[in-house]
Amino acid sequence: MFDGPFDVFALIIAIIAFLIAIKASSQATELRRRLSSLEEKFYAQRQVQQPPPLLPAQVQPEAPATAAAAEPPPLAPEAEAAPPPLVTEEASPPSLEASTAGDAPPPLPTPAPVSREPGFEERLGTRWVVWIGGLALALGGFFMVRYSIEAGLVGPGVRVFLGGLFAAALLAAGEWTRRKESISNIAALPIANIPAILTAAGTAVAFATIYAAYALYGFLVPATAFVLLGIVAMGTLAAALLHGPALAGLGVVGAFVTPLLVSSGKPDYWALYIYLAIVTAASFGLARIRLWRWLAVTTIVFAVLWVFPGLDTSDLQVAPHAFHVIAGFVLAALLVVCGFMFGPTIEDGEIEPVSSSSLGAYLFGAMLIVLSSAHADLALIAFTLLIGGTLFVAWRAPAATGALGAAAATVFIVFAEWAVRANPDMLVLPGGPMPGVGPVATDSSVTLHLVMAAIFAAGFGVAGFLAQGRSNSAIIPMVWSAAGVATPIAILVALYARIAHLDRSIPFAILAVLLAAAFGAATEALMRREERPGVATSIALFATGTLGALALALTFALEKGWLTIALALMSLGTAWISLQRPIPVLRRLAAIFAAIVTARIAYDPRIVGDAVGTTPIFNWLLWGYGLPAASFWGASIFLRRHGDDAPLRVVEAAAILFTALLAFMEIRHLATGGDMISPPSLLEFALQVCVALAMAIGLERLRLRSGSIVHNVGAVVLTVIAGLISLFGLFILENPLIWRIDVGGAVFNLLLLGYALPAVLMLLLSYAVVGARGKVYANTIAGGALLFALAYVTLEIRRFYHGPILSTGPTTGAEQYTYSIGWLAFGVVLLGVGILVNSERARLASAVVIALTILKAFVIDMSTLTGVYRALSFMCLGIVLVAIGWLYQRILFRRQVTSPPAPQTSP
């Protein structure tokens, strides 16, 4: 079959080649498997760091024929020159690719470019130069006009023409540069935009030119000036929409400053305020379109500042000033207040600061006009219109609810200033009608003020009641109710001060009762309504208004001192209402009433001046201090049921203060016979020490139950006060041994009240603080008790020898001997008490007294006594000392004789 050896070798080579091919094929398969495994691991690691690139099969499915025929987008030269990448692996099946792409993590965000802070040179060349240049252009136009006027270079017509030409040139330059920048590749800096600054300078010059043509030279009638200024304002608005906030800021500032730079000798306020109204409208419109709050705030500030010119002059022009604030108020309501007319939108129930402050700013301006014009009728009418407008806008737009506070405050200021203006004596003299001082209640201005007061009280009160339940926010009805309660009460007080001169007035008391009835009816009506946000707080406010009106009724119907009592009762009533309605604001309100009453007594501690009365105890001090003290103690009990906080501590402090002042003032009234300015006496100091110590004992007991820090501090303060009065009053200023003072009878005298009773009270106080305070504190008080007791014994012995005047007459030997015997007897009594009740403190006090007796015997008796008194003194001292030693040995420290121990026996 084989033709030769060549064929045999060929067959062998073929078999070997086949075997080698099979082996190579198997090795290639193994290498491919390993390579695939390595690539899967590599791609898995890269997926953690960044997403894998998608293959064409993963980007999109097979495109249709029409899409395949579409021309691809042109490539960049670099892309065309680059060769296509080589693909060494076959594409995975679509299902595997899809699952892999789905399991891959999302791509990491691209890192933001690193921002570079501009240097000084860049700021100087790109920003500051542009700003200063634009300002210089505008000022250059203004000053050129002024210079031409002062030097008389050109006539008025030429000045106006040149000003208009300069303004047109600036505007054209601004527009040309804006178009150039918009088609170039250079982006303008947002805060140094050259086109915007050029346009702003041109706008300001245009404003100044038109205003000068109208107000200075009379070239334009008011209608023409109004139209031209409106055109410039609208042009400014349109240009700012294109150029951004730089033009808006510079244009508005330039427009408001223009009347200062281009002015005349006799100002025309109508022209000024018409011009400012147009500028304000343009600025508010731009702020509304671009939602620039800063622009609206800047405009409001400049507009309010322009109210001040002319207010300090005697010939105040009320009409143009009133037009200015009314026009600004209307524009702010239309364009600035959120949720009203053309203002921005806002969520329901939210108070927006700019909306509220814009209305409040113009109310402030209207108030200034009223005060500066001495309450002229036109100013009052304008003010009333703005108050009514505030209520209307706040009713329709909750974002402006904050303006209610400004409205209520300005109303009170207007009426309060009216009352003080008519009654300047109220600031320096006590209340009451004085003939010939101030106008009477029949003046013509009173009628208008009474009508305004009725309108304001009814408007705020009715709106505050009807606003409840209209909002889903709690703060809205709370503000309405607060304004509705506070404004009528404030107006009533101002009218009372103006018409009744702070004297008794039954008509005003009737008005206060009617107001209290209205507040009470509102409280009952709100309590029957369903629960809504803020209604609970409003109920509490109306209830507090009821108490306040009733307190005013008492004040108006009774004497002036009842105002203190009425305010204290308001604190008690508010605390009780807070118990029914646990609202934090009521607790603070009770504390505020307590603080007001405290400030009231600081102004006049006698409450009613000289009309205190001469009857001891039962006089005006009892009502003026006793009723407030009882009210504050009751209020503290109500407030403590809901926790210990700052309002409770204020009320507790007021309760302690009024209780102490009641005692001290009544003591002074009793000691001086009603003459509250007389110098103090021994009786007054003695009673004050006793009362202070008794109150300290009561507070020490009370603080253990209440745990109040006010009771704790109050007890310490009263103890310190008692110690100071004892030291400086009883031992120095009114010491009967030093000064000529009549102490009274033999036993029941001032010594018993001033020294014996304080000793007993100090002893009780020392036992009250044992274990509750430091040992040094208790021992100090006990030492004071011992000092007072020894002083009483000494002074009583001197009273026996010298009569009621202790500071006169010589000291005899019998008197010196009696002092020693009295001190020894006192020491023995203390020792006996210490033994009976097992009191170490009493025994130590006895040791102190006996030691003083021994010292006296060897220092004084030995040198001053003679004869039998010296012998008796030492004999008695020796007998007492021996007896004391025997008592200590036989009774206190008796040795117990113990028998020897029995011997132990071994088991």
Q: Which of 427, 430, 423 is nearest to 606 (CA)?
A: 430
**Which H or E element spans position 309?**
none
pLDDT at residue 400 tops 90? yes
Region 743-759: what's the mean pLDDT? 94
Distance CA 252, CA 855 (A): 94
3-state secondary structure of 744: strand
- Whether residue 292 contacts residue 245, with contact meaning beta carbons closer than 8 Å, is answered with yes
- Compute the distance between CA of residue 446 and CA of residue 498 in angstroms, rounded to an integer: 9
- 257, two tokens: 């400053």
Q: How many residues does the chain have?
A: 907
Q: Assess contact for 232 and 203: CB atoms under 8 A.
A: yes
Burial (CB count within 10 angstroms: exposed 0-12, middle 13-18, buried 19+), residue 153: exposed
Highest mean pLDDT out of 543-547, 590-594, 867-871: 590-594
Alpha-carbon distance 877 to 874, whole Å? 5
Rg of the chain, C-alpha, whole Å: 49
Contact of 814 with 800, CB cutoff 8 Å: no
**What is the reported pLDDT for 611?**
74
* Gap between the Cα atoms of 449 and 418, Å rounded: 9
pLDDT bracket for residue 783 (50, 70, 90):
very high
Per-residue pLDDT, 44: 65
SS3 579: helix
Alpha helices in 397-443 (DSSP H): 403-422
Q: Is it the case that residue 30 has pLDDT exceeding 80?
A: no
Give the C-alpha separation, 187 to 410, whole Å. Answer: 50
> To the nearest whole percent, how much of the chain has pLDDT over 70?
72
Helix/strand/coil for 749? strand
Within 10 angstroms of residue 213's Cβ, the number of other Cβ atoms is 22
pLDDT higher than threshold 90 for residue 761: yes
Q: With 80 as the cut, is the pLDDT of residue 10 above it?
A: no
Tokens of 168: 């047109």
Tokens of 196: 């915007």
pLDDT one-digit tens code per residue, 456-484 = 999 999 999 999 988 888 899 999 999 99
Q: By the 8 A CB rule, do 650 and 624 touch?
A: no
- CA dist 500 and 663 (Å) reads 34
* Helix axes 222-243 and 194-215, enclosed angle (nearest 10): 170
Which has the minimum average pLDDT: 113-117, 162-166, 264-268, 665-669?
Answer: 113-117
Q: In DSSP terms, which residues pair with 742 in a beta bridge?
A: 805
The one-letter amino acid code at 177 reads T
Give 434 or 502, the one with higher predicted confidence: 502
Q: Which residues contact 846 (CB under 8 A, 6 or more apart)?
A: 827, 828, 830, 831, 834
What's the rounded Cα separation, in Å, for the pair 553 and 569?
A: 13
The 3-state DSSP class for residue 139 equals: helix
- Stretch (H or E) spanning 232: helix 222-243
Please report which confidence band the pLDDT of residue 74 belongs to, taking 50, 70 and 90 as the band edges: very low
Are 710 and 656 in contact, with CB atoms under 8 Å apart?
Answer: yes
Across the range 317-328, mean pLDDT stands at 94
- Per-residue pLDDT tens for 79-91? 333 444 434 344 4
Instruction: Find tokens 């926790």 and name the residue.
Output: 643
Widest CA span in the chain: 180
Taking the C-alpha atoms of residue 28 and residue 764, their distance in angstroms, rounded to an integer, is 111
pLDDT above 50: residue 70:
no
Residue 71: predicted pLDDT: 41
Under DSSP, the state recorded for 109 is: P
Task: Report how far residue 142's alpha carbon sits from residue 736's, in angstroms, rounded to the nearest whole number.
Answer: 88
User: Is the Cβ–Cβ distance between 250 and 258 less than 8 Å?
Assistant: no
pTM of the model: 0.61
Which of 377, 535, 545 is closest to 446 using CA atoms?
377
Q: How many helices (H) and strands (E) does the chain have?
A: 35, 0
- For residue 228, what are the CA distances in angstroms to 204, 237, 487? 13, 14, 44
DSSP state letter for 645 = -
Question: Which two three-digit tokens encode residue 528?
Answer: 């029957």
For the chain, give the mean pLDDT.
78
Burial class (CB in 10 A: 0-12, 13-18, 19+), 864: middle
CB neighbours of residue 216 within 10 Å: 19
pLDDT for 531 = 82
Nearest to 233 by CA among 264, 274, 194, 173: 274
Residues in contact with 678: Cβ distance below 8 Å, sequence separation at least 6, in sequence order:
672
Q: Is pLDDT at 448 greater than 60 in this prediction?
A: yes
Q: Which tens digit of pLDDT belongs to each residue from 501-546?
A: 878 889 999 999 999 999 999 988 988 888 888 888 888 889 888 8
**Other residues' Cβ atoms within 10 Å of the Cβ of residue 690:** 19
- Please give the Cα distance from 629 to 621 (Å, whole number): 11
β-bridge mates for residue 744, sequence order:
749
Report the 10 Å Cβ neighbour count for 230. 15
Terminal Cα distance for the chain, rounded? 132
Angstrom distance (rounded) from CA 352 to CA 402: 8
- Provide the angle, in degrees to the nearest 10, between the axes of the packed helices 868-887 and 840-856: 160
- The number of beta carbons lying within 10 Å of the beta carbon of residue 555 is 25
Q: pLDDT tens digit string along 176-224?
A: 776 665 443 434 444 445 676 677 777 777 777 777 777 777 777 766 7
For the stretch 594-620, pLDDT in tens is 998 998 888 778 777 777 888 888 888
Three-state SS at 858: helix
Nearest to 240 by CA among 288, 208, 278: 288
